[in-house]
Copies of this chain bind each other. A is one copy, B any other.
């Protein structure tokens, strides 16, 4: 950890770990079964605690879900926003870096199932939808738009319609993780080749964004 002399007794460290264990269990089950179909008793059991204990840390199911999002997707977004703000190179590299690190940190992991889940169940849990839209979707859109605008401003990208291209860029990523987590769909699980998909997607996307060859400096 940060403190190499961890002065706390093992028992207390265990206690501190509880929320993390609960979040880990929760994300597994939420992604596997969806929000509504996940039973808090199962979450508690998987975390090795009792059902009542769960309520000591999270007031209810929705708060638990929010905590899952806050503990997984939101921090990534924060870091990505920072790296966008600090980046100094070519906007195409920035875009590629953001997408690949998204795939590395989110897309590949269970966390990406949260996106599919929200798409499916937002209608039944308006407060959750609002939370997710504000904490995740809006920030992602803003971040990608920012990259595009940066690229356009710096003449590294063509003068595209930023709003639409933002959506065009997000769509295939969403699709990729949706299929990855679904039991039906055009891709039997072993047919899905995410890496090849990503490569093709990036080629296409950057090909569409970079200025015509003749126009480059």
Contacts and interface: CB of A to CB of B under 8 A. Distances in A.
A120 B124 contact: no
Question: How many copies altogether?
Answer: 4
Nearest to A122: B183
Contacts of A132: 184
A184 B137 contact: yes
A186 interface: yes
B170 A137 contact: no
Interface string A94-128: 00000000000000000000001111111110100
A36 B123 CA distance: 13
Given A167-B191, A171-B175, A175-B171, A141 B36 contact: no
A172 interface: yes
A72 interface: no
Which of A36, A123, A163, A191 is the most central at the interface, judged by chain B CB atoms within 10 Å of its CB?
Answer: A123
A184 B164 CA distance: 17
A74 interface: no
Contacts of A171: 172, 175, 179, 186
B167 A186 contact: yes
Contact of A183 (B126, B167, B179, B200): B126
A184 B36 contact: no
A133 interface: yes
A197 to B, nearest CB: 9
21 contacts: A33-B123, A34-B36, A34-B120, A36-B37, A116-B120, A117-B120, A119-B185, A120-B182, A123-B182, A123-B183, A129-B183, A129-B184, A137-B186, A163-B191, A166-B186, A167-B186, A170-B186, A171-B175, A174-B175, A174-B185, A174-B186
Interface of A: 32-34, 36-37, 116-124, 126, 129, 132-133, 137, 140-141, 163-164, 166-168, 170-172, 174-175, 178-179, 182-187, 191, 196, 200
